[in-house]
Structure 1
């Protein structure tokens, strides 16, 4: 028999606003922005208003019909037979391995679980939002979440909720400091701000999935949860040219069912063990001093030896101009207190963070020695490398007729020089080559 209605733990409740109104304010949302002309704003332009002027990037526009509604709850797109076939295989595996596990809540996806919903205090599904569980029972065969860095005195560096249209100041700062990070991108943001998404990979950051619409994942059906992950993974592939093997659940909301769906799409779940709560500034009386104190608490732990045997994975956001500026302001303090600041995958010596096996990142020792270069080879990855575990078909391909595919591919090629001009850099051929291959 199910237990009483659970009460959210303070640690979890403290993170319940990192999406919502902040994301809504920043994004004008959806296909409407596609009707405007492509903007010409170089990466050196750090004016937020200029950066966030809506623009049209034709390759992304041409792909709109193959994706869910931007900022809507993701679901299988009508006519996408390959996605449907892949989901059918994944769904069968989930139902076989986790029989009887159903979505949490009463149908809302906002974290309001409903007064009629109850969940056992024994936490049989390792539900983070209930107990901050990150290690499923070994009998499930599901891997534990990444929560800390294995290297001592090492800050696991990353940002949620990108790409932000006004991120030039932050990305320029990271570039000037030769600092790479893990970027957890929202699929709808990638479609809304494709040039900004491309810059993340061009600058050598690790790109991970942060779902399509930034809602509570355990409230979704299997099909919706699959779509939230799958279409974000594919949007990053189509726009940026890489297929991530990592993801982070919005609000940390994950359980065994969602972990399994993600793992069958070849994605590792990454959460965190320290939270700056930077998104809270300006809400409910939270001031800049409060956020500064949150950072200082983590920095003080580094100074007192707390991280002598491991490092924290710290939650930061690319969500608005304050959160980005706050990280820039705190960077020198963090660098003085920690031996190393590295992307999360680097701390785990993951040199192939994408399903494209011909893209290689430096390992931890190479990175701390000063090697920050991403290398690519012309050799194509094997089908077994690219394909999800649950299906032989690549999860980055999708149904489209030959004429629309050819037009989209031509559009990618035609817009390469324009995108390079906007970014102020020469985009690597590997990114556009992969995007064209995916469209075809």
Structure 2
């Protein structure tokens, strides 16, 4: 019995027929190969799609997690976050108002007017004056309030207050751990449905200043009142649980997103298209995150009653606390836009070909001009020209590594790295073109 014919090119041996494939067999063979290729291509598209969707969904969480983790683990970053609050006019006014009220409330104005009435009575003052001495309570309290407010305002708006604020927050950085995880103790604490800041050090300084100015009653400011509510929400327990989870994955979630995007590009049938899709998708998610921060701001301001914190001070607190999160989101967005644009410029589109043609002619003309002027690059330029793909890849990889190891890069840093990268690539292209021009000139000379 003869062995079956195996579809394929003209072959020999026991597994092949005696001659080449017939036209019908060739068509069947081509159809089978096309079907297999389509199946493999669809599988790769499916895997790429799943990886991209995971990267898109996790990218906002990765940015938030990295921000939360930096606030917990980096003392300098945390102090840098809260430092502007000490110089914010709305926060300064709130602190001044609260401390002034607490000082004045501890002064017994009625007792002072009663003592004045007794003193006048003992001095045989006219009864009308003695009886009306209690009317001095209002003006006396107003005058005392104005004087105390002046002293407190000088302290709160001074550079020393900002230094005390930074020092207290630096020493109490464990507050962030307590607020997010419920562990430890510090100046910032979670009490019930509120997050409060203990201004004990600042209040003690104000008390000393007031006592030095002659207001001995200021020494009676109770310790229990040395707090200012920063946040108030009935979902604090849920927020703490979510933030603890983000803290755990704060380091690895960003890495996971990068790995998922890289795998999507690697498995895609057309890696360049997958890279552009990843960049566009992550960029869209960053826009949604920025919109979410705006919505969260409105929700937060609506949830804070004026009795806890005035609206302008609450807005300053929110904007100050999330400004680095906004910066990080914008940085990722700018990076995504640049990546998508780079992917397009390396593609076959008409616009991309035009840009490559213009830049190629520009660098080539510059290199040839250098060669004609005597600035020849020799073997080095020739090596750069013949290994342009490698040098371009190395420069781009170096730029990516620089952004990864940069400590909290901003959108301006991304723009700076991009500018340096483009400049280096242009210089390498010019050097390579100078070598080519040199060889051309030599070939054009008569022997």
Larger relative contact order (C-alpha < 8 A, sep ≥ 6)? 1
Larger Rg: 2
**What's the TM-score, normalizing by structure 2?**
0.20
Name the structure with the higher helix share: 2
Name the structure with the higher strand share: 1
